[in-house]
A and B are shown apart, each in its own frame.
Chain A
Amino acid sequence: MSIEKSSKAARGTVQCENTNINLLKANDYVADIIKGEMRKNKTLLINITSSAGSGKTTLMQETAKRLKDKIKMAVMVGDLETERDAVRIRESGVQALQIVTGGICHLEAQMIHQVLPEYDLANIDLLFIENVGNLVCPASFDLGEDYRVTLMATTEGDDKPKKYPRMFLTSDMMLVSKSDLLPYLPFSVDAVVKDAREVNHKLEVIQISALKGEGIDEWCDWLLAKIKEKQSS
């Protein structure tokens, strides 16, 4: 009886195949295509990430107001539902398309690639992707951007960089937003910068208030310098 059992078990052979396939292979492939498009058209692509409600759309509006006469700027904005953000940005006089993800918590390169034909890239110097408000999943998806900028609102608390390390590790710039509320909040800019730079020592930081204007000139100058770099590359 026991012999029969063991012979049964030995009948099939288990074969292994070492694959080492990256699960994000499909995303990264499309991200490379987007990078190529941006290189060809000399369009600077910036991926804006943050928690929900940290001021991404207000920053887009303010940036549009200040830069739209100097450069050609456009935005694509991702949300689970509604077209509200795109409508708000269009009111500032720049092209904005809404990507409704229908429940998906992040934007993927494929979604960006699908809406690219709607943009006249040859005539756009600066294209923003306003990602879904979420510090977790968007960190894993390369959208082909030149720079990733993360907003960190003073209302969120100064302990976030270590709680969501991958987002801060993969970002190039952290904008400490809603700085006008600092007098009312137990938020330490020094603490947030210290934690963020322990995660990513190369992270640049600007303190901004899109409503009151603090730091917005510095932010716009940073963008203009990056656009210049891209166009002379």
Chain B
Amino acid sequence: MAKVAMTVNGRKVSKECEDRTLLVHFIRDNLSLTGTHIGCDTSQCGACVVHMDGKAVKSCSILAAQAAGSEILTIEGLAANGELHPVQAAFKAHHGLQCGFCTPGMVMTAIDMINRHGAELDEKTVRDNLEGNICRCTGYHNIVKAILAAAQEMGAAGRQAAE
């Protein structure tokens, strides 16, 4: 057992856990943030994607101890003042989810790729960047649509902020 401290959604947290505890279990069981999902046991599905120090990572393939001292952003940290994050809103508007199980990972992955590519994001890049996220309902088309729409909106918002 060790004390693991990190910042999660802007809040400093510190919890005792075993060294073998995966980050996803730390987030779900120790912090009770159950929006981050576990969809497989083989590190393939991407339902557990969170941001660590600003980059999308699979929280099922990292020990909580490895993440100690880092800044973690989960799906719970996106909506502000009761308003959905633009990517969440785009998934809703474009029907980018059905059962919703993969959605937290999809949304965190989408934000990561928009952060890297901005409004320049094109369909091929979106599909390539969804390589690590599996959805068994939608057939991906509406997820891709939602991400492209959000990239346009966030890119436009970014440009307005810059001007």
- A and B interact: no
Q: Which residues of B contact A (CB under 8 A)?
A: none
